[in-house]
Amino acid sequence: MIPRVTAIALAVLLAGCASGLVGQGLGGPSVTRVDMSELPGPQGQTGADQNYDYKVGPFDKLIVDVMGIEDLADRRVTVDGSGNISLPIAGVVQVSGLSLGEATNRITEQLRAGYVRNPRVAVNLEQSVSNFVTVDGEVAQPGNYPILPGMTLMRAVAAARGATEFARLREVVIHREVNGRQMIALYDLAAVRRGAYADPVLYPNDIVVVGDSPGRRLFQQIVSVSPLFVSPLVAVLDNNN
């Protein structure tokens, strides 16, 4: 949950702090720039609150290890469609929507309920299926990639085997839903690599497009007066035009 003040501040920014610069698609969506130096998180997180805590989802593969219990040593399990796993002694454990730490605590509680004294449990992620980011455009291997804590724009491009030889590194767009509104941000990946501004944190369901794209073209008018040397361009996407 984000602080109420942060949520209100984001709403004010979206409603009242637009610069007035609008990029118009040909009979399609438009973008209205907002006065922000970073793309907010899905709940409006900004600054130090920009981080992603992995949540277990259906069909993720986990490794559960309980010290001293042979049947629970390095045990591979797959979360079912209802978000449950089944373990000896612990029984059915609902883990969907929990962080790995929370899943560890829940399994520990159910083992105690099964009369295991002081169980020492470790839960690790073997494979993520439910949480991913899409990387498209001028990269070697476009596709969906599992997103783990610490995933950033540069790491996502690296996961896609890097940008192609002639990729337009100044034309990298991130699409994200923020508090129910579609937002996009235009980045200069070369500037990020130089440390001109922070490598942005990514979240599940983000779409990253490297190179020329419809999203990039919507920024055309704005880019002409707002270079990307010191910060990205952030805008609200309006599909109602």
- Across the range 129-140, mean pLDDT stands at 94
Residues 42 and 72 in one domain: no
Integer angstrom CA distances of residue 201 from 7, 140, 141, 212, 224: 19, 21, 21, 22, 26
Q: How far apart are CA 176 and CA 80, in angstroms?
A: 27
Residues 115 and 147 in one domain: no
- Across the range 49-75, mean pLDDT stands at 93
The pTM for the full model equals 0.76
- Across the range 23-30, mean pLDDT stands at 48
Helix, strand, coil shares, percent, the chain, to 5: 25, 30, 45
Q: Of 109, 127, 145, which closes a domain?
A: 127
- Please state, rounded to an integer, the average pLDDT across all residues of the chain: 84
Q: How far apart are CA 235 and CA 131, in angstroms?
A: 25
Task: Indicate the range of 52-56, 124-128, 209-213 predicted with least confidence.
Answer: 209-213
Q: Of 105, 127, 149, which closes a domain?
A: 127
We report the CATH number of the domain holding residue 110 as 3.30.1950.10
pLDDT tens column, 155-206? 999 999 999 999 989 889 999 999 999 999 999 999 999 998 899 999 999 9
Residues 136 and 230 in one domain: yes
Give the count of domains, the chain.
Answer: 2
Closest CA to 192 of 142, 235, 231, 147: 231
Domain residues for the domain of 79 are: 61-127
Closest CA to 184 of 216, 139, 152, 227: 216
Residues 144 and 212 in one domain: yes
pLDDT of residue 214: 72
Look at residue 229 and tell me whether its pLDDT is greater than 70. Answer: no
Residues 100 and 137 in one domain: no
191 in Cβ contact with 225 (< 8 Å): no
Residues 100 and 208 in one domain: no
Those residues whose C-beta lies under 8 Å from the C-beta of residue 135, and which sit 6 or more positions away, are 142, 143, 144, 145, 156, 157, 159, 160, 208, 210
Going by pLDDT thresholds of 50, 70 and 90, the confidence category of residue 212 is confident
Residues 191 and 76 in one domain: no
We report the CATH number of the domain holding residue 20 as 3.10.560.10
In the block, residue with structure tokens 């779409």? 207
Those residues whose C-beta lies under 8 Å from the C-beta of residue 228, and which sit 6 or more positions away, are 170, 186, 187, 188, 191
Q: Of 111, 127, 143, which closes a domain?
A: 127
